[in-house]
Amino acid sequence: MSNRKDFLKLTGALAFGGLVLPRQAKAFYKNLAMPPVGLQLFTLFSSIDDDVSGSLKKVSAIGYKEIESAFSKKGGYYGLKPKEFAALVSSMGMSWKSHHVLGAPFKMPPGAKLPVGADGKSMTIPPMRNLTENMQALVDEAAEGGVEFLVCANIPITTMDEINAAIVVLNKTDEACKKAGIGFAYHNHDAEFHPVEGKVPYELFLIQTKMQMELDLAWATKGGKDPVELFKQYPGRFPLWHVKDLDKTMENILPVGSGVIDYKRIFDAASTAGMKHFFIEHDFPKDAYESLTISFKNLSKILG
């Protein structure tokens, strides 16, 4: 579209044409409202810190336009200050929309090991700040970087004491984010949908906080929840989505469109959810760029 005048001419023509071509007009308006395809950079956790600029360039070349950042082996924002990272993303023709942080000090699950890097050695991770201990600093940096949302990536929920403590931290962070002029959201895995001492953590978070949610659609599905039904139950509460796919066992992550999740049905409910941005993610893929290319192409077809 070369200018606003041309845009108005086309939309006017489609509005008139809707009397004759309702399907085409409906598709146009649907696509007009859909945000561009985004990427959660945790997909590149194993490699991005080795070449941040080169990694973002490859992502941009695939077609991704929005970025959600996560944890870095360099610490901070892939070794950069918030404004520096925002400028780098912008220089690649993309925009930085949100950032993931931990809700509490990081602890490896019992028996778990860090993934192996390209050198064949276990990765090392620097101390990571978290909302329990460093909330205001993390909120201030997110606001400095110009992101729309700060996202709690996870927080301990194995007991009711942990859940109650989490609700306190999440509510405090939500208030701090409001004061800073940014949104705050919580990102789920599947554990949030399993009862703890007779109560479902995700339901408690929805009821006892006013924060928004970044619904990881695959983990919610694995947890036994229908994302579309959640949208209907809590309309407008899900401005951010994580988009990945799962195989029939619900144990293995696949590129979007390669598994069992019906993404057309879910994206048709985007307005009910209040979705503003969505980010493709693949945790520890064998070939990150191959997976991201497949996901981008498949999702483009689904949304087309």
* Boundaries of domain holding 27: 1-33
Name the more confident of 116 and 135: 135
CA separation, residue 272 to residues 227, 232, 262, 266, 292 (Å):
11, 7, 17, 10, 27
Provide the pairing of β-strand 183-187 with 245-246.
unpaired
Looking at the structure, do residues 9 and 58 belong to the same domain, yes or no?
A: no
Looking at the structure, do residues 105 and 176 belong to the same domain, yes or no?
A: yes
Q: What is residue 202's predicted lDDT score, i.e. its pLDDT?
A: 98
Whether residue 94 contacts residue 65, with contact meaning beta carbons closer than 8 Å, is answered with: yes
**125 SS3 class:** coil
Quick: pLDDT tens for 158-184: 999 999 999 999 999 999 999 999 999
The Cα–Cα gap between 163 and 37 comes to 33
Provide the pairing of β-strand 183-187 with 38-40.
unpaired
Looking at the structure, do residues 1 and 100 belong to the same domain, yes or no?
A: no
Domain count of the chain? 2
Whether residue 269 contacts residue 241, with contact meaning beta carbons closer than 8 Å, is answered with: no
* pLDDT band of 117, cuts 50, 70, 90: low
Res. 113: pLDDT tops 80: no
Looking at the structure, do residues 63 and 83 belong to the same domain, yes or no?
A: yes
With b for 16 or more beta-carbon neighbours within 10 A and e for fewer, the 5-16 pattern comes to eeeeeeeeebee
DSSP of 45-108, one letter per residue? Answer: TTTGGG-HHHHHHHHHHHT--EEEE---TTSTBTTB-HHHHHHHHHHTT-EEEEEEEESS---P
Looking at the structure, do residues 151 and 294 belong to the same domain, yes or no?
A: yes
Looking at the structure, do residues 21 and 60 belong to the same domain, yes or no?
A: no
Using alpha carbons, select from 147, 177, 145, 146 the residue that is nearest to residue 81. Answer: 145
Res. 210: pLDDT tops 50: yes
* pLDDT band of 3, cuts 50, 70, 90: very low
Res. 106: pLDDT tops 50: yes
Looking at the structure, do residues 12 and 42 belong to the same domain, yes or no?
A: no
Phi, psi for 4 (deg, rounded to 5) = -65, -35
Looking at the structure, do residues 45 and 168 belong to the same domain, yes or no?
A: yes
- Which CATH number does the domain housing residue 93 bear? 3.20.20.150
Give the residue-averaged pLDDT of 24-48.
76
Q: What is residue 154's predicted lDDT score, i.e. its pLDDT?
A: 97
Looking at the structure, do residues 261 and 177 belong to the same domain, yes or no?
A: yes
Looking at the structure, do residues 159 and 271 belong to the same domain, yes or no?
A: yes
Looking at the structure, do residues 151 and 256 belong to the same domain, yes or no?
A: yes
Res. 2: pLDDT tops 50: no
Looking at the structure, do residues 187 and 289 belong to the same domain, yes or no?
A: yes
Quick: pLDDT tens for 66-77: 999 999 999 889
* pLDDT band of 118, cuts 50, 70, 90: low
* pLDDT band of 53, cuts 50, 70, 90: very high
The Cα–Cα gap between 241 and 229 comes to 15
Quick: pLDDT tens for 144-159: 999 999 999 999 999 9
